[in-house]
Amino acid sequence: MKKPHICEILDKQELTENTFDMVVSFPQSALPGQFIHVLCGEGVLLRRPMSICDAGRGWLRFIFDVRGEGTKRLAQHKIGDSLDILGPLGTGFNIEKKGEDTPIVLGGGIGIFPLLMLAKSLGKNTEAILGFRTKSLIIMEDEFNEACAHTHITTDDGSYGICGLVTDCLTNRISKGDVSSVYACGPMPMMKAVKKITEASGIYCELSLEQRMGCGIGACAVCVCKSNGEYLKVCQNGPVFDAREVDFDD
């Protein structure tokens, strides 16, 4: 039988103001793109879903921005504290579909977190396109450099790397002709554009979606997204979907 895990916080770093990087003890192995569902502490009722950034034997790493009451409470935990965690949950990225040439992992903002473990699994010829609002918010650049053949950084204000959107960078990169797959996670407008770009160029694409979640295991039917005209459960059928299966125009 499955059960929630009581996990010890092994490490905690504040990467930028409001962004926390936690490593916890974890008894199960996880696949890239899966998530955990975390009880944040006293005064917060529902769990909060967190994408898995990386995992290994006996440990798991996740990164989160403090956005609301849940993440605020979660960030108050210290090294040595315990967290009640469900998981790993959901259907992750299908790395079998990466194709013969260059796979791209593409993320905007907090969407970059689940891409590190994925990049490591996809192999050394993987390239990353990571978007940030501004230079001071750039994180994990070294780690993606380590895992990937090339890491393209974009900033909205041009304070670092390429000025502009990750999707413009993607279009340019695709024009070189050797991109065989795209795996993306980020805000909805970005995902919608990525779907359009990859469909136009016939490139296989997977999207990791986010939605306000309840149980996290597929029982409550709260966290849905539209797929071929029907509502599918983000927590169970996803969070990763074949981009062709996701309907954005509601």
Partner 1 sequence: MTDLSVNIAGVKLKNPIITASGTFGNGREISEYYDLSQLGAVCVKAITLKPRQGNPPPRIAETPSGILNSVGLQNGGIDYFLKYELPNLKRYDTKVIANISGSTVEENCELARRLGRDVDLIELNISCPNVKQGGVSFGTDPKIAAEITARVKESCAVPLIVKLSPNVTDITEIAKAAENAGADALSLINTLLGMKIDVNTRRPVLANNTGGLSGPAVKPVAVRMVWQVFLCTRLPIIGMGGIMTGEDAAEFMIAGASAVAVGTANLVTPTAALNVKNELVGYLEKRGIKNVSELIGSVLAY
Binding site for partner 1 (CB under 8 A): 1-4, 39, 44-47, 69-70, 84, 86, 211-215, 217-225, 230-231, 236, 250
Maximal CA-CA distance, the chain:
52
Closest separation between CB of residue 236 and partner 1, Å?
A: 7
| Closest approach of partner 1 to the CB of residue 73, in Å | 11
CB 179 within 8 A of CB 151: no
Nearer to partner 1, 163 or 221 (CB): 221
Nearer to partner 1, 39 or 138 (CB): 39
Q: How far is 136 from 234, CA to CA, in rounded Å?
A: 32
- 32/49 with CB nearer partner 1: 49
Rounded to a whole number of angstroms, the minimum distance from the CB of residue 159 to partner 1 is: 25
C-alpha to C-alpha distance for 29 and 59, rounded to whole angstroms:
9
Closer CB to partner 1, 4 or 164, in the complex = 4
**Least distance CB 18 / partner 1 (angstroms):** 16
CB of 26 to partner 1, least distance (A): 18
Residue 234 C-beta: closest distance to partner 1, Å: 8
DSSP 197-226: HHHHHT-EEEEE-----SSSSSSS--SEEE
Contact in structure between 149 and 124 (CB atoms under 8 Å):
yes
Between CA 195 and CA 212 the distance in angstroms is 21
Residue partners of 23: CB distance under 8 A and separation at least 6: 9, 10, 11, 12, 59, 60, 61
Measured from the CB atom, the residue of 40 and 118 that comes closer to partner 1 is 40
Q: Which of 13, 66, 3, 11 is CA-nearest to residue 40?
A: 66
Residue with smaller CB distance to partner 1, 13 or 82: 82
